Structure formats: structure tokens, C-alpha cells
Amino acid sequence: SVPAAITSGLSAGARHGLLIKGGAPLETMGTARVVAFDKTGTLTLGRPHVTDVVPLAGLPEPEVLRLAAAVEAGSSHPLARAIIGRAAPLGVPAATGARALAGRGVTATVDGRPYAVGSPRFAQETVGLPGNVPAQVQALEAQGKTVVVLTGEDRPLALMALRDEPRPDARDTVAQLRALGVQPVMLTGDNARAGQAMARDLGLEVHAGLLPGDKLRLIEGLRRTGRVVMVGDGINDAPALAASDVGVAMGGGTDVALDTADAALLHHRVAGVADLVRLSRATMRNIR
């Protein structure tokens, strides 16, 4: 019967680390035309590490890291955690009034002065990036790195570059989806250069430089041509997860993503999304 097939599909999923919140997502997964992935924390490990610190205004490197970590103290973003981890042994001053700007960065006050840590685009829009600074940013991005800018006193104070490795099963997941006739795409708020370097490596197309609202509109556009599954982990992805036909959260992501999602992949296995497509198709065959 229908309920029995669904129930056994759900429990088969649970045994394999696929948490499915009810029959509807289980039924829909197998009909997906597109699976859209967030990059950071979904296709990548989400554990970037700081590779370069480039002071722009004479601040010594440890001071750059201490200030940046103070601004990021309240943020759970993977980039924030990397900077905080690197600065922890240096002693981090307290910040007040921290504010997160989704897809852009964080602002806060340290020692009575306002600072921000965010994307080069955000720095460009707020304090500007003079002279050869944009070229320095681009050179780091061409190495597949994500660049963030510490700004303060109405100018850029330093660049920090971070690198995040793809998950070991990311490339295979992309190949599995193609074999199932599903189109994989990557959505990222990260810059186009770093996004394209990773997309080429993993074998899928990419839409880069997206703000959370852009991700949402892209999902809505894709849905006009068929069912869309979105896989994400970040707080920024909650609107895109909600706008897709099936939102899938990477386990270990934020609670917001888990709450918004229709399904979750436990054990940090992104390949679970291909398992979900197969499980859905097998379940629906049992019903018919």
C-alpha cells in the first residue's frame, strides 16, 4: 500500500543517514530536474583556513588578525571561525554592536571605533578599494582562495585570503547525479574566480557572486522548467532552501538550515543527495 511503501522508504533513508521529513519530499526527490548546491560547507568541507594576511595600512599582521577576530566573534560563518581560530592565541579584544550582513560580512565596534570584515565587493561599496588593491584581490582569487577585507577608519586595513577544500565525495556526487539524469549546479556568494576554479574541478556549472536574494531568484527561475532540489548548510541558504521543491540540509550545518529543510544528510555525506534520488524512485516504483 502507499503508506507502507512510504514508511519503509523513510526508514530505509534513516538507516542510511538520510533524514526525510515526511512522504512529500520522499515522493518529489526522484522527479528533480536540477540539484542546486551551495558551495561553502556543502560542496566544500566548510573549514577554510587563513593562507595569506596582506596589511594595507601599516597595521602589523597580529593586530589585523586580532581586530578581524574581534569583529567576527559572534559569527558562525565558516570564514569567521577560521579567522577566530587563527587569532585565538594572540588574545582577541572585545567588540560591541556586532551586526551580520548576510552574504556580505560583519560590522562591529572595537575600542570605540567601527570596523567591518566582509567581501571585497562589500568593502568596495563602503570604503572603496584604491590603487592596486583590486589587482591584489584578483591575484589571490585566481588561486582559488576567498578574500575578505578588514576595513576601519573609512579605509581598507588588510586583506585576508582563505582556502576551503572540496568534500572528498563532492566530485563523485556530481557524476552520480548526471548519471541519474539530474543537472547539478553550484550557487555561491563567493567570487566568480574562486567559484569557477572549484566548479571546473568538480565538473558542474556555477553561478557566483550571489547575494542571498539572488540565490532565491535563481531557484525560482529554475523551478519554471522543472523540480529543483537545493542543498545547503548556511544561515544564508534558508530562503533558497524554503523556495525549492525540496530543501536538503547538510547535517552539521546551522539549526536554521535544518529547520527550513525538508530533508537532511547526516554524517557529512553530500553523496546522500544522490541516494535520496534513488530511494525516491525505488519507493515510487513500489507504489505503482
Which SS3 state, helix, strand or coil, does residue 1 take?
A: coil
C-alpha cell at 139: 591575484
> For residues 38 and 72, which CB has a smaller minimum distance to Mg ion in the complex?
38
Q: How far is the CB of 199 from ligand ADP (least distance, A)?
A: 12
Residue nearest to Mg ion (CB): 234
Q: How far is the CB of 111 from ligand ADP (least distance, A)?
A: 20
> For residues 151 and 176, which CB has a smaller minimum distance to ligand ADP in the complex?
151
Q: Which residue from 166, 171, 207, 205 is spatially nearest to 189, judged by alpha carbons?
A: 207
Choose, by CB under 6 A, the member of 190, 245, 262, 275 that binds ligand ADP. 190
The Cα diameter of the chain in Å comes to: 71
> For residues 99 and 278, which CB has a smaller minimum distance to ligand ADP in the complex?
99
Q: Give 261's contacts (C-beta < 8 A, 6+ positions apart).
A: 21, 241, 247, 248, 249
Per-residue binding string, ligand ADP, 126-155, x by CB under 6 A, is --------------------x-x-------
Choose, by CB under 6 A, the member of 119, 196, 254, 283 that binds ligand ADP. 119
What is the Cα Rg of the chain in Å? Answer: 20
Stretch that binds ligand ADP, among 3-11, 183-191, 219-227, 260-268 (CB under 6 A): 183-191
Choose, by CB under 6 A, the member of 29, 56, 92, 106 that binds ligand ADP. 106
Compute the distance between CA of residue 157 and CA of residue 230 in angstroms, rounded to an integer: 37
Stretch that binds ligand ADP, among 58-66, 90-98, 188-196, 240-248 (CB under 6 A): 188-196
Choose, by CB under 6 A, the member of 188, 196, 260, 280 that binds ligand ADP. 188
Compute the distance between CA of residue 115 and CA of residue 127 in angstroms, rounded to an integer: 11
- Describe the chain by its helix, strand, coil percentages, rounded to 5: 45, 25, 30
When CB distances are held under 5 to 8 angstroms depending on the partner's kind, the choice from Mg ion, ligand ADP, none that residue 216 binds is none
Active site residues: 38
Question: Could you tell me the strand order of the sheet in which 95-101 lies?
Answer: 49-55, 155-163, 146-152, 113-118, 105-110, 95-101
Whole-number Cα distances in Å, 187 to 3, 38, 112, 213, 217: 35, 5, 37, 12, 11
> For residues 40 and 260, which CB has a smaller minimum distance to ligand ADP in the complex?
40
Contact residues: Mg ion, CB under 5 A: 38, 40, 234
Q: How far is the CB of 271 from ligand ADP (least distance, A)?
A: 19
Q: Which residue from 115, 120, 154 is spatially nearest to 137, judged by alpha carbons?
A: 120
When CB distances are held under 5 to 8 angstroms depending on the partner's kind, the choice from Mg ion, ligand ADP, none that residue 272 binds is none
Q: Give 233's contacts (C-beta < 8 A, 6+ positions apart).
A: 38, 40, 41, 42, 46, 249, 250, 252, 253, 254, 257
When CB distances are held under 5 to 8 angstroms depending on the partner's kind, the choice from ligand ADP, Mg ion, none that residue 104 binds is ligand ADP
> For residues 30 and 189, which CB has a smaller minimum distance to ligand ADP in the complex?
189
> For residues 44 and 280, which CB has a smaller minimum distance to Mg ion in the complex?
44
